[in-house]
């Protein structure tokens, strides 16, 4: 167990408020919870990859960062007028 | 325990603490636009702290290059996403994002009584 794995275990708890924000409140406030969760999981994947010493898994975090960005933009665009 | 290990531990816990505080912020804050601000520290402070920790731990290798790509993506992503989300919220609320009649926003000229169609 190293500081990276310990830190990622603690970082998991940061997803609880993101879940609360996503399941409660106005539509746009839920979107903020989703976007924040996307960033937190990106950092989580980085810390797990570093903690386990597997450099190849950084690609997962990079892919998620890009996809969460695209997904958030599409959501924001649809929530503007259509949903 | 070497200085490098201590530095890595401090940086990792700074990043984790930033994320925890900001996640609490998006739940505690009342107003939607205040909540949006809490995404910024995660994509700036936490990512740069993790990048520094990776560079200290592994030097400028493959991991650090990939991590700096992630930092760049998250930097740009958060700025664009926060703006797009705020704009979407305003359009959802008012039907347009420009200032409504009588609303004073510096640097943005008001619309002349025309209401944009949804």
pLDDT tens column, B8-57: 999 999 999 999 999 999 999 888 888 889 999 999 999 999 999 999 99
**Other CB atoms within 10 A of residue B32 CB:** 20
- Residues of chain A in contact with residue B31, where contact means CB-CB under 8 angstroms, are none
- Residues of chain B in contact with residue A29, where contact means CB-CB under 8 angstroms, are 32, 35
Contact at CB, A55 and B36, closer than 8 angstroms: no
pTM for the model stands at 0.86
The CA–CA distances, whole Å, from B4 to A13, A73, B58 equal: 27, 39, 10
Does B116 score more than 60 pLDDT?
Answer: no
The CA–CA distances, whole Å, from B105 to B86, B102, B108, B112 equal: 15, 9, 6, 14
Domain count, chain B: 1
What is the domain extent for residue B87? 3-117
Closest residue of chain B to A78, computed from CA coordinates: B88
Contact at CB, A7 and B16, closer than 8 angstroms: yes
The tens digit of pLDDT for each residue in B64-105 reads 999 999 999 999 889 999 999 998 888 888 777 776 666 666
How many CA atoms does the CB half-sphere of B68 hold within 13 Å?
Answer: 8
pLDDT value of residue A19? 93
- Report ipTM (2 d.p.): 0.89
**Phi, psi for A49 (deg, rounded to 5):** -60, -40
pLDDT value of residue B113? 46
């Amino acid at each position: 167990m190293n500081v990276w794995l310990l830190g990622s275990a603690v970082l998991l708890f940061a997803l609880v408020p993101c879940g609360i924000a996503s399941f409660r409140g106005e539509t746009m406030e839920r979107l903020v919870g989703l976007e924040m969760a996307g960033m937190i999981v990106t950092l989580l994947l980085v810390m797990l990859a570093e903690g386990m010493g597997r450099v190849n898994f950084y690609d997962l975090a990079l892919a998620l960062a890009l996809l969460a960005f695209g997904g958030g933009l599409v959501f924001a665009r649809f929530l503007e007028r259509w949903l | 325990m070497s200085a490098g290990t201590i530095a890595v531990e401090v940086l990792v816990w700074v990043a984790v603490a930033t994320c925890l505080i900001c996640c609490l912020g998006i739940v505690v804050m009342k107003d939607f636009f205040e909540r949006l601000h809490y995404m910024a520290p995660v994509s700036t402070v936490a990512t740069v702290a993790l990048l520094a920790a990776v560079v200290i731990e592994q030097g400028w290798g493959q991991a650090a290059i990939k991590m700096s790509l992630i930092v760049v993506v998250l930097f740009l992503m958060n700025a664009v996403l926060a703006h797009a989300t705020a704009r979407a919220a305003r359009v959802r609320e008012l039907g347009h994002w420009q200032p409504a009649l009588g609303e004073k926003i510096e640097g943005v000229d008001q619309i002349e009584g025309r209401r944009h169609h949804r």
